[in-house]
Structure 1
Amino acid sequence: MKQLITSILSLLLLFGATLLQADEILSFDNEAERQLYQQLTAELRCPQCQNQNIADSNAIVAVDMRQKTYQLVREGHDRAQVLDYMKNRYGDFVHYQPPFNRYTLWLWLAPLLLLTGLAGVGLYRRKQQLPLANDTQQQGLDTELDQLIERYRSKKP
């Protein structure tokens, strides 16, 4: 029984050690390079996963993009140069903050247009639901309300 428990614990330790080795170990000349690399991998989108950045993705294309980002940062390229390289290679989609141009115009204006349209429809429907009461209808309702109030008051001791 003791050997079985020892075997299981040994396998768990071996498996855990293998998982820890799966992380990339990258060396940088200074802390600024490390921060730039981490910032870039966090804001570049994986083309295959689409809703995951390349830092969190294990897709083959994301691994390639991380390696290329690492290489460019180590060569001394700044943030703009690395982003330009990635956008030229994979398109504007690869960056979580797409630029404002004629292709992305609808992407930026669609929420505003949608909200304006919904507000307009809401106001139109509200106006249609509130009928305009003429004076005689209003007077009749006022008289009926006054009679109900008087009946209620007269029943009280």
Structure 2
Amino acid sequence: MKKKLFGQCAACNLEKPEERYRNISNYALEKALTGIAYEIHCPEIKVGTLFCNRCYCAIVEHNNYKKYKNNNKKRSIERDLTYQPNNQKKRITVSLEEYQRLVNNSKSVEELKIEIQELKDNNTFIKYFNDKIQCLTTVLYNYQHREGNKPVLDADEFVTLIEN
């Protein structure tokens, strides 16, 4: 079980029984002396000084998350945004034959999309195939489970069973 510290906070001079109190260690003293918060709250800070948790965080951990704040800023790329009358951007040129080939390919892609859509709309084979599979499974189920027969392993018997 941890030893609870009780006493009066050196910074705010209040005694709060529900608050967690913390002592200043050597490392905490070094961290506190890097900032200026200790001068405001408690200029006579030394090792063993007792602070409430709120004052301890304000004095010792004053620069917490500071290193993360700098990394979160978006890095701006310096660009020359002045007006440039002679537009010197690189341009890509294509021969006339290459351009016509690309246009024809785009037309053929559109035609293929239309053909695929027509095939999706005209799904009579799929319906026919689904009906036949459903019929087949119904016949096999009735033969094996309702009538209590063993599975048919001979191909000729299987064909006659399905056709009947």
Whether TM exceeds 0.5 here: the answer is no
More helix by proportion, 1 or 2? 1
TM-score of the aligned structures, taking structure 2 as reference length = 0.29
Larger Rg over CA atoms: 2
| TM-score of the superposed pair, with normalisation by structure 1 | 0.29
